[in-house]
Amino acid sequence: MSAVPFQPSLGRSKMIARVLQYALHIALVLFFLFPLVFMFVSAFKGDELQLLKDMGSMMAFVPHGDVSGKNFASVFSSSSFRQAFFNSTFTVSITVILGILVNSMLAYALARFRFRGRTLILTAIIALIIIPFEAIAVPLLMLVNELPWFSGTRGWLDSYQVQIIPFVAHAFSIYLFYQFFIALPKDLEEAAMMDGASRLRIYWSIVMPLSKPVIATVAVLQFLSRWGDLLWPVMVVRGDNYATLPLAMQTFFGQYPRHWGEVMAFAAMATLPTLSLFIVFQRWFVRSAISSGVKG
């Protein structure tokens, strides 16, 4: 009976806590959306003077004045955006697809097979995660510069393969797949083995269809990492034929006089594939993140 008078205050406290929680979420969303809104709005402002004037006020987030697509047209006509977009799309797509296959196969073998040296391999993979790419960039450059190719030439510089093959095997992706595979129940696999299915058939027909969350996570993380990479293309690419978007944007950004509307249009078009990929895979990506947090 004594608890009844406290019911209204308890409900009010819960409501206040929920309102504060929603307010915090909205503030975080706005905080992360501000740069994107500013970039896309600025890309459609055709008056350069108006764009520069609006940068110091909230009008930078409001489309007004000369709103048109001439900045985008100028980017297509005065830069190598089309070639760079194709190069980025091709190299990143092949890297992600091959990476999913190679890393998942290695992770599945480590998760299901017991062999001598397995623990050592796992330890080495975990150790490789903490090594930054900058630490191995120069030795890797010297290595790929001496490697032969099918055409008979020696050296991979200024090519597609130099931007793909060194990044197919990825330690963190292997670890994500491994953590997911060891948590999968083995009942379906054992039943398939009793029916005569091979390990490769089990991997392709049973394990991979059940691994959509971790596949989406690896795909998004690998795509983000490779799509925005600038250091490696700067080291291995010469000219525009194999230049990716970050490298082409750096060249475009360095031109004078610098037109910020065109720079924003270039950046907006380079950002769209990343946003589209996350929107498509967000359901599986969030599910994988939640399951990883529950597992600890």
Which residue carries 């963190």 as its tokens?
Answer: 172
The rounded radius of gyration (Å) of the Cα atoms in the chain is 25
Q: What is the pLDDT of residue 258?
A: 79
Question: DSSP string covering 70-81, please?
Answer: HHHHHHHHHS-H
| 244: number of Cβ within 10 Å | 28
Separation of alpha carbons 262 and 69, rounded Å: 10
Q: Closest Cα partner for 169 from 208, 212, 125, 199? A: 125
CA dist 172 and 106 (Å) reads 12
Name residue 148's beta-bridge partners.
154
Q: What burial class does residue 296 get, using C-beta atoms within 10 Å of its C-beta: 0-12 exposed, 13-18 middle, 19+ buried?
A: exposed
User: 65: which DSSP letter?
Assistant: S
Please enumerate in sequence order all residues whose Cβ is within 8 A of that of 221, keeping only pairs 6 or more positions apart, or say none: 172, 173
Structure tokens that stand for 125 in this block: 């993979």
Q: Rounded CA gap, 104 and 189, in Å?
A: 16
The single-letter code of the amino acid at 212 is K
Residue 245: closest CA among 78, 136, 95, 90: 90
Q: Which two tokens stand for residue 38?
A: 């500013």
Q: What is the pLDDT of residue 294?
A: 44
**pLDDT tens per residue, the chain (296 residues)?**
455 554 556 678 888 888 899 999 899 888 888 889 999 999 999 888 888 888 888 888 888 888 888 999 999 888 889 999 999 999 999 999 999 999 999 999 999 998 899 999 999 999 999 999 999 999 999 999 999 988 888 889 999 999 999 999 999 999 999 999 999 988 889 899 988 889 999 999 999 999 988 998 899 899 989 999 999 999 999 888 999 999 998 888 777 777 888 999 999 999 999 888 888 877 776 666 555 544 44
How far apart, in whole angstroms, are the C-alpha atoms of residue 183 and residue 188? 13
Count of positions (residues) in the chain: 296
d(CA 151, CA 158): 14
What b/e string do you get for 180-195 counting C-beta neighbours within 10 Å, with b at 16 or more?
bbeebeeeebeebeee
